[in-house]
Amino acid sequence: MPRGKLQTIPLVGGERLPQQESASLPLLTIRDVSVAFGGIRALDGISFDLHRGQVLGLIGPNGAGKTTLFNCLSRLYTPTSGDILFEGKSILGRAASRMAEIGIGRTFQNLASFSRLSVRDNIRVGAHCRSRTDMLSDGLRLPWMRRAERRIDGIVDELIAYLELRSVADLPMAGLPFGTLKRAEMARALAIHPKLLLLDEPAGGLNHDEIGELGRLIRRIRDERAVTVLLVEHHMNLVMSVSDRVVVLNFGRKISEGDPAGVQANPEVIRAYLGSGRA
Amino acid sequence: MDARDENPAISEPPADRAGIRFGALGWTGLAVVVVLAALPLFLANFTIFQLTMMLIYAIAILGLNLLTGINGQFSLGHGAFYAIGAYTAAILMENFGLAYGWTLPAAGLICFVSGFLFGLPALRLEGIYLALATFGLAVAMPQFLKLSVLEPWTGGVQGIVITKPDAPFGLPLSQDQWLYYFTLVVALLLYWFAANLVASRSGRALMAIRDNPLAARAMGVNNALYKSLAFGISAAFTGIAGALGAIVVQFVAPDSFTFALSVALFVGLVVGGVGWLPGALVGGAFIVFIPNVAELFNKALAGAVYGVILILLIYLMPTGAGGLVRKVADFVGRRMKPRPDR
Ligand SMILES: Nc1ncnc2c1ncn2[C@@H]1O[C@H](COP(=O)(O)OP(=O)(O)OP(=O)(O)O)[C@@H](O)[C@H]1O
Ligand SMILES: [Mg+2]
C-alpha cells in the first residue's frame, strides 16, 4: 500500500517534522552511474532518487549490479562515470571510512561480523563515528574518554533492547545463530545513527517467521527512527510489502521504477525474472 | 577455513557473563603482582637480573601483542624497534648526560614515530608479506647500527657502555633490586595503558580491523590511520623495553640486536597467547628461562632441547598460555554456575 504524501515522522529526539516527500530535496540522488570491471559493465547509466522517510526496494536477478551499487554508495567502489549526491552534495570525494559520519550505514550481503568481539562490542564499533577520542586519552582513561564511553554505552544499551539482543549481548559473535547475527549487524548499522541505511539482502538465510519479523522491523526503523532505507532483497513478498518504491535492475540497467504494484505488473520485469531477460 | 583458526587470539572476556572468571583472573593478577614484588627480596642478584630481563621482554611482547593480537598485523622485526629504543637510551645517557628515567619517554616517542612511519608504507602489505617486510627491517638493523657515519653516536661495532644507576633517595636496595622494581613499575603502568586501550573505542577499532577490515571501514573506522597508529604504539612499547634493556645490561652493541631477537619476541608472543595481554609475562619468562633450562638438561644439545620444548608446548597448547587459561576458566566457570542460556 502506497503511503500518504504528507506525513509526520517522529525523530529520535522526540520532535516531529512535517515531511513533504515530493517537494523536498531527495536524500539520495543516483545520477547516471556506471561501473565497469574490465569488460563487464556492472552498472550502466543508473539514475534514481530516494526521498526521506521512504523504503526503496532495489531488486533484480543475480549479478544485476545491486551490490555493486551499494559498494559505490559506501565508497568501496568509485563509479566509472556519473555522480552520487547525498543531501545534495556529491559523496565521491569522500573516503569510505567517512561515510558513517555523514549518516550512511550499511549491512552486508554475507555476514561481516567482528567475530571475536561480543555483540555489545560490535554495536559499540558501530557507534565509533559518534565520539572522538585518541589513543593516548583512551590508554590513560582520561575523564572525557570515560564520558564518551558512557554516552556510547547508552546508545548501545538502547539498541540492544530495541533489537532484543539482551540475552546474547555479552557473547562473542562467533557461534551465535544466523538470525541473531543478522539482528546484531542491524543494531551495529543503526548505532551509526544513519539517515540512510543500506540493507543488502537482510532476509537471506532467515526462516519464514524471521522474515516476517524483519519486515516489521524495517518499517519500525523507518517510522520510529526516521531512517530512510535502501533495501536490496530477493525475497519478493518482503520487498513488495515494505517498500514505498521499487527500482528494478537487470544486467546493470534500470528496467523499471515505480510503486510495488506497478513494478510487479511490468512485462519487462516479469521477463527478466523468468530468465529470458536478454534476447 | 575459519579465519579464527589461523590466528587464535582471545579478546578480553566480557565482564558480566564471566563474573566468576573475571574475578578469579583479577585475584590471580593481584597474586602475580604480589609475588613479583616480593621475589627480589629472596633472590641472588643474578637471578634478579634475569627476572628484570623477563619483565623487559614482557613489555616488548606486550607491544607486539597490541600489533598482532589486537590489530592482526604481523611483525618479525620488532627486535629493530627494541634496538632503536636501546640505542636511544644509551646515546642520551652517555652523550647527553640525560638521567636514565627520562630516556624511556624519549625512546617511546622515537620508536612511536619510527613505527608509525614504517607502518605507513606497510599498510599495503598483508599477512606474510608484512612479516617479510618487517623481517627485512630486523636483518638490516645491526648493519645500520654499524654504519661509520653514525659511529660518533653509536660507537660502531664497539657499542656503548652505560653506567649502572644506584637506588635513589638512599633506599636500602642493591642496584639490581632497584632496577628490578623500577622495571616492574614501568611494566605495570604500560600493562595498565595497554589494557585500557584494548577496552576503549580505539582498541575496539583495532580489533574490528583485525576481524573484518571492510566492515570496520563501513562503521567509520579509518583503517589506514589506526593500523599505522597500532604500529607506532606497538613500536613504542618495544622501544621502551629496549631502553630498559640497555640500562639493565649496561651495554648496547649492534650484534645484541640481531634477527634472533625478533624471532625470540615472536616466539614469546605465541607461547604467551596471541591477543591475551597477560600472556606477555609468560612469553618473557619463556625467552629468559627456557634456553637455560635446555642448557641444564644437556649443554651440548641445548639448541635441540629448546626446539623440542617449543614443539611440545605448541602441540600441547596451540593457542598459547592464554588459550589454556581460557579453557580452564571456561571449565571452572561451567562447574560453578549453570549457564542461563540454552
Ligand atoms: N570486484 C569485482 N570485480 C569484477 N567483477 C565484479 C566485481 N564485483 C561485481 N562484479 C560483477 O559485476 C556484476 C554485478 O555484481 P553484483 O554483485 O553487483 O550483483 P548483485 O546484483 O548484487 O547480485 P546478487 O543478487 O547475486 O547478489 C556481476 O557480473 C559480478 O560478477
Ligand atoms: Mg549482491
pLDDT in tens, B196-208: 999 999 999 999 9
DSSP label at B194? H
Closest residue by CA, ligand 1 atom 22? A67
Pair A204, A180 in one domain: no
Tell me the average pLDDT of chain B: 85
Tell me what pLDDT residue A217 has.
95
Tell me what pLDDT residue A250 has.
92
* Binary contact (A100, B219; C-beta < 8 A): yes
Tell me what pLDDT residue A23 has.
52
Pair A135, A202 in one domain: no
Q: Residue A86 has which C-alpha cell?
A: 547525498
* Binary contact (B15, A116; C-beta < 8 A): no
Q: What percent of chain B is modeled with pLDDT above 90?
A: 44
Pair A75, A146 in one domain: no
B275 has a pLDDT exceeding 60: yes
B87 has a pLDDT exceeding 50: yes
Pair A200, A271 in one domain: yes
**B-chain residues within 8 Å CB-CB of A167?**
341
Cα–Cα distance, B216 to A117 (Å, whole number): 12
A18 has a pLDDT exceeding 70: no
Flag whether the pTM goes above 0.90.
no
* pLDDT top residue among B121 and A183: A183
Tell me what pLDDT residue B21 has.
53
CATH classification at residue A40? 3.40.50.300
Tell me what pLDDT residue A160 has.
96
Examine residue A238 and state whether it is found in any structural domain, yes or no. yes
Element (H, E) at B214: helix B213-218
Pair A200, A155 in one domain: no
Pair A85, A128 in one domain: no
DSSP label at B252? E
B135 has a pLDDT exceeding 70: yes
Q: Indicate which of A72, A97, A134 best probes the interface with B, i.e. most B CBs within 10 Å of its own CB.
A: A97
Residue among A68, A74, A232 to mutate when testing ligand 1 (max atoms within 8 A of CB): A68
Query: Using 50, 70 and 90 to split pLDDT, how confident is the model at B59?
Result: very high
Upper half-sphere CA count for residue A24 (Cβ side, 13 Å): 17
Pair A200, A80 in one domain: yes
Cα–Cα distance, B246 to B253 (Å, whole number): 10
Pair A121, A200 in one domain: no
**B-chain residues within 8 Å CB-CB of A148?**
201
pLDDT tens-place string over residues A155-164: 999 999 999 9
Tell me what pLDDT residue B338 has.
55
Pair A40, A96 in one domain: yes
Question: What separation in Å is there between the alpha carbon of A64 and the centre of ligand 2?
Answer: 8
Q: Is A60 in the pocket of ligand 1 (CB under 6 A)?
A: yes
Instruction: Looking at the complex, report in whole angstroms how far the Cα of residue A100 sits from the nearest Cα belonging to chain B.
Output: 5
Tell me what pLDDT residue B309 has.
86
Tell me what pLDDT residue A164 has.
93
Tell me what pLDDT residue B163 has.
81
Instruction: Looking at the complex, report in whole angstroms how far the Cα of residue B178 sits from the nearest Cα belonging to chain A.
Output: 26
pLDDT mean over B279-284: 92
Pair A98, A159 in one domain: no
Question: What separation in Å is there between the alpha carbon of B53 and the centre of ligand 1?
Answer: 55
Q: Yes or no: say if B79 and B265 are a contact pair by the CB < 8 Å rule.
A: yes
Nearest CB to A135; choose among B11, B16, B233: B233
pLDDT mean over B213-232: 94
pLDDT mean over B81-99: 91
**A-chain residues within 8 Å CB-CB of B70?**
none
pLDDT mean over A168-191: 94
Q: Is A248 in the pocket of ligand 1 (CB under 6 A)?
A: no
pLDDT tens-place string over residues A111-139: 899 999 999 999 999 999 998 889 999 99
Question: What separation in Å is there between the alpha carbon of A65 and the centre of ligand 1?
Answer: 5
Cα–Cα distance, A56 to A262 (Å, whole number): 14
Pairing between strand A196-200 and A104-106? parallel
Cα–Cα distance, B342 to B339 (Å, whole number): 8
Cα–Cα distance, A274 to A61 (Å, whole number): 9
Q: What is the 3-state secondary structure (H, E, C) of chain A?
A: CCCCCEEEEECCCCCEEEEECCCCCCCEEEEEEEEEECCEEEEEEEEEEECCCCEEEEECCCCCCHHHHHHHHCCCCCCCEEEEEECCEECCCCCHHHCHHHCEEECCCCCCCCCCCEHHHHHHHHHHHHCCCCHHHHHHCCHHHHHHHHHHHHHHHHHHHHCCCHHHCCCECCCCCHHHHHHHHHHHHHHCCCCEEEEECCCCCCCHHHHHHHHHHHHHHHHHHCCEEEEECCCHHHHHHHCCEEEEEECCEEEEEECHHHHHHCHHHHHHHCCCCCC
**A-chain residues within 8 Å CB-CB of B341?**
167-168, 171
Pair A92, A203 in one domain: yes
pLDDT mean over A174-188: 94
Tell me what pLDDT residue B126 has.
77
> Chain A, 171-190: which have a CB under 8 Å from a chain B CB?
171-172, 174, 188
Q: How far is CA B285 from the centre of its chain?
A: 11
Pair A148, A184 in one domain: yes
Tell me what pLDDT residue A22 has.
44
A133 touches chain B (CB under 8 A): yes
Query: Using 50, 70 and 90 to split pLDDT, how confident is the model at A6?
Result: very low
pLDDT mean over B218-243: 95
Pairing between strand A40-50 and A28-37? antiparallel
Query: Using 50, 70 and 90 to split pLDDT, how confident is the model at A275?
Result: low
DSSP label at B19? H
Q: Which residues contact B287 (CB under 8 A, 6 or more apart)?
A: B54, B57, B264, B265, B267, B268
Tell me what pLDDT residue B22 has.
56
pLDDT tens-place string over residues B164-201: 887 788 778 888 889 999 999 999 999 999 999 999 99
Domain enclosing residue A181, as ranges: 112-193
**Domains held by chain A: number:** 2
Tell me what pLDDT residue B230 has.
95
Q: Is A110 in the pocket of ligand 1 (CB under 6 A)?
A: no
pLDDT tens-place string over residues A233-253: 999 999 999 999 999 999 999
* Binary contact (A125, B219; C-beta < 8 A): yes
**A-chain residues within 8 Å CB-CB of B233?**
135, 139
Interface TM-score (ipTM) > 0.90: no
Tell which atom from ligand 1 comes closest to the C-alpha of A38: 4
Question: What separation in Å is there between the alpha carbon of A37 and the centre of ligand 2?
Answer: 15
Name beta bridge partners: A249. A254
Cα–Cα distance, B67 to B116 (Å, whole number): 12
Tell me what pLDDT residue A24 has.
74
pLDDT mean over A7-34: 63
Residues in chain A: 279
